[in-house]
Structure 1
Amino acid sequence: MSCVYGRDMVRYLTVDSFDYDTPPATDGRDPATLVDDAVADILARAEHWLGWDGRPVSKGGNAWTPHKVMRRVADHLLDHLAELECRLAGQPTVPDRWHGRMVTTDADFARFTEIDLDEATSRLTRLAACYRSRLSTVDTALLDTAPDNGGWTLRQVVHHVSRVTGYADMLDAPG
């Protein structure tokens, strides 16, 4: 089934739901390396988007394009990095006021070129380096301490962030 969305035809796919109330599962992997691995996966997949046909994929009621995936990955990494930094500094976190995946901008429909991939590579690898540097200095006990007001531990936040590859899944899913 397809319908007109924005400027182009959209492929429709089934929706996988995500339960935001359930803390993400964690494992024994080093949290300092999780974001590096996720970014490497996304960038490897993005090389295949250089020949994108210009038709967004619709999944979860949202249109997905290479630029939107890269924007959402960067925004998600930045949002949770700010959360980690505020929590480690003992400061309140800044509420997320972004529209997230619900918004597809006109810029998201642009061709995805080698220059775009190069810019995304620079941006995402720098963000991953920030996670790696910061998390390599955090005590294990602090990683596993829940906030006084409830919520996820820092380890759970990092495991959640490492699943940022789910944005790429939206575009790469078979249609």
Structure 2
Amino acid sequence: MTDSVPERPAEAVTAMVDHVLALAATWTAWDGKPRHVDDRVYTPHKAIRRVADHLIDHLAELEARLAGEQPQPDHWHASAITTEADLARFTQEDLDEARSRLTRLARIWSNRLGTLTDEQLARSPGEGWSFRELALHLRGSVYYADAVGDLS
């Protein structure tokens, strides 16, 4: 990833969330069988959990670096585990909750990125990717939703 990518970082995050939620809208038809992709197992709840966790994790990193702090290391098990909650039926209410959660997280990202100058996006404080690269990296969260797929 380079800073010469023309896509605006906030749009990358919101487009990713839109893609995830479009797929999630079909998951109330899930048959309860986990999807095996690569060396992991995915379900609708796990996909939503992973997307939300990814957004939260990197947002915490961005905010810590802006505050001049060392980002707190994450200790999540990520996609290496599938919890009992991940195996639950995915209902319309779960979809409503996912929409609220992910839409709000995308909005927080969009608002935060919108306050940063091009210079801050390109040459971000602390170690790690620039904030532009960090936001563009979040596009990869579609992987979790794509693992479950379109169930319509």
- Asked whether the two chains share a fold, i.e. TM above 0.5, the reply is yes
Residue in 2 that maps onto 1:102: 80
1:135-154 correspondence runs (5 A): 135-145=113-123, 147=125, 149=127, 151-154=128-131
Aligned to 1:11: none
Structure 1 residues 49-81: Cα deviation after superposition (integer angstroms, max 9, x where no partner): 110010001112211000000000000000011
Q: Please tell me whether residue 133 in structure 1 is matched to residue 107 in structure 2.
A: no
Consecutive aligned runs of 4 or more in structure 1 exceeding 6 Å deviation: none
Q: Name the SS for the 2:26 alignment partner.
A: helix
**Larger Rg belongs to:** 1
Matched, 1:170 2:140: no
Instruction: Considering fraction of residues, name the structure with more helix.
Output: 2
Alignment correspondent of 1:15: none
Report 1 or 2 for greater relative contact order, CA contacts < 8 Å, sequence distance ≥ 6: 2
Identity, % of aligned positions: 47
TM-score in terms of structure 1 length: 0.81
* Structure 2 equivalent of residue 10 of structure 1: none
Aligned alpha-carbon RMSD (Å)? 1.7
**Residues 1:45 and 2:28 are matched in the alignment:** no
Q: Write the letter of the residue equivalent to 1:60.
A: D
Aligned amino acid, residue 86 of structure 2:
D
The 2-side partners of 1:53 and 1:83 are apart by 36
Alignment match of 2:136 (pick from 159, 166, 170)? 159
Unaligned 5+ runs, structure 1:
1-23
Contact 2:68 2:125 in 1 (8 A): no
Counterpart of 1:163 in 2: which secondary structure?
Answer: helix
Shift of the alpha carbon at 1:146? 5.3
Confirm or deny that 1:90 pairs with 2:68: yes
How far apart, CA to CA, are the structure 2 residues paired with 1:111 and 1:61?
23
Runs of 5+ unmatched residues, structure 2: none
Give, in whole Å, the separation in 2 of the partners of 1:32 and 1:64.
Answer: 27
Supply the distance in 2 between the matched residues of 1:159 and 1:85 (Cα, whole angstroms).
16
TM-score in terms of structure 2 length? 0.92
CA contact (8 A) 2:68 2:126 kept: no
